[in-house]
Chains A and B, each alone.
Chain A
């Protein structure tokens, strides 16, 4: 099993551009989530999903969209990138649909917005 796979690993955007960070897991996990990590602030939850077709907001959802059309994939969309969205983004999944189990993380996507 590959676990949780994130692409791309690195991306540079200009302010106002849009892009999608991809996340895929091959563990048949119902629960998936996106976090961003900024220096000195730990990880902050952006959005999460408890199954195909079901998503909800986390702590810092503004500026980000998600959808979940399959169990395996949970893409994160930035519609109009801002410098404040420069961060490292992590996707995570859990076997528990309510997120009560351990989280399995991808290796991260480092995004720079100029």
Chain B
């Protein structure tokens, strides 16, 4: 069964707007990661946040983690048409070894 569930399933915004995607998970984690997948391509790692961290930034990306609510959010600021892709959250449990992915959010940024 999947550990993470993203919300919304799909998101359509205008270029320049911010995009927020949410992820909920079920069990205790070692870390949570966000990945991006362009159509027909492999996944690319965006950012990793450990269970003892609450917020992390990387360029236009901001990730928050709330372990009490078992949830995370990914914010992409000033979105661009090139940000159009599917975004996945993935969690690694405290036992390690198995990174489990959610079903993803499809983001469409209109130019």
Point out residues on A near B: beta carbons under 8 Å: 4, 31, 33, 35, 40-45, 48, 50, 56, 58-59, 90, 92, 98-108
Contact = CB atoms under 8 A, between A and B. Distances in A.
B43 A42 contact: no
A58 B88 CA distance: 18
Contact of A100 (B35, B92, B102): B92
B99 A103 contact: yes
A44 B30 CA distance: 18
B75 interface: no
Contacts of A33: 99
Contacts, number: 66
Contact of B102 (A31, A42, A106): A42
Interface of B: 1-2, 4, 30-31, 33, 35, 40-45, 48, 88, 90, 92, 96-104
Contacts of B90: 43, 103
Given A42-B104, A102-B48, 10 more contacts: A41-B103, A42-B101, A44-B2, A44-B101, A45-B99, A90-B43, A98-B96, A103-B33, A108-B40, A108-B41
A43 B97 contact: no
Contacts of A50: 97
A48 B41 contact: no
Given A40-B103, A59-B100, A102-B33, A90 B92 contact: no
